[in-house]
Amino acid sequence: MTSNTNISTGLKRNLQQIFICIVLAFPVSGLAQKMEGSMRYLITHNWTKKMAAVDYLSKQQRDRVTYMWGNRSEWKEYSLMYFTPTMTKYEDSEERAEKDDEGYSWRKDVYTIRRNFEKSSIFDMIQLLGKVYIIEDTLRPQNWKILNDIKEVAGHICMNAFWDDTLKMQKVYAWFALDMPVSSGPERFCGLPGLILEVDVNDGAMVITADKIEMKPLTTEMDLPKKIKGKRIHEADYTAIMKKYMDERRAAEEPPFWGIRY
């Protein structure tokens, strides 16, 4: 555990150098048209698979949910990512992905995730347990393990990486592009050598897949929302809030995914 932390700090320190290196490398390469543009992710949620991953609920209870709802438990939504070699911003899209939702509008929670790789800093404005928080801190990527699979996502060849999120009880498999050297991804995932184009959490409970990538110069897309209101905290505070909530839900034997983003 300690060694992992050291490694991740080392990685963080080196991110700056790497990005300078990437910026230098790109202008001369054919592959490296300017790594700047926007991307749409399709998020597929599966409620029964989310239930199935809650280890403290009885197996019978989870099995029953699957037995009764298994094939009717999916819903979809879109999210957006803006990226440059030095910065990314991720947020929910107002566009409706679910054809049947057409005509019904849900309120989106506050969710803006910005990563600055030059300064190695994060700015996250998120809704957590009904409150808006602003997390400003240095960038700490997840402890990814690099695996051996390759596949194509949205026209890009991707490699596979794994992260075991013990806090949120999530097994995360990410596919990062080998030809998009931007060390970011959807939600709060980052720190891989390429842009994460697909994420599978808890064996299909949530799958985030890039479905539209557009290379274009960005103008104001990276700007933070005009209204920034919320409690300013650090990453450690976020972890503490989350841990307390997860522990309480475990004690109450209630699924933990209402009130927090999955």
Q: What is the DSSP-derived secondary structure letter of residue 194?
A: S
Taking a C-beta distance cutoff of 8 angstroms, is the pair 246, 167 a contact?
Answer: yes
How many CB atoms within 10 Å of residue 45? 19
CB of 214 to other proteins, least distance (A): 19
Tokens in use for 165? 């999120």
Q: How far is CA 85 from CA 25, 118, 183, in A?
A: 11, 9, 8
Q: In this chain, which of 16, 44, 143, 170 binds other proteins, going by CB under 8 A?
A: 143
User: Pattern of binders to other proteins over 146-185, x per CB under 8 A?
Assistant: xxxxxxx---xx-xxx----------------xx-x----
Q: In this chain, which of 38, 42, 44, 70 binds other proteins, going by CB under 8 A?
A: 70
User: Pattern of binders to other proteins over 204-243, x per CB under 8 A?
Assistant: ----------------------------------------
Of residues 223 and 253, the one with the C-beta less far from other proteins: 253
Q: How far apart are CA 213 and CA 180, in angstroms?
A: 11
Binding part of the chain for other proteins, among 34-42, 140-148, 209-217, 220-228 by CB under 8 A, reads: 140-148
262: contact with other proteins by CB under 8 A: no
Length of the chain: 262
Largest CA distance in the chain: 59
Q: In this chain, which of 11, 134, 222, 242 binds other proteins, going by CB under 8 A?
A: 11
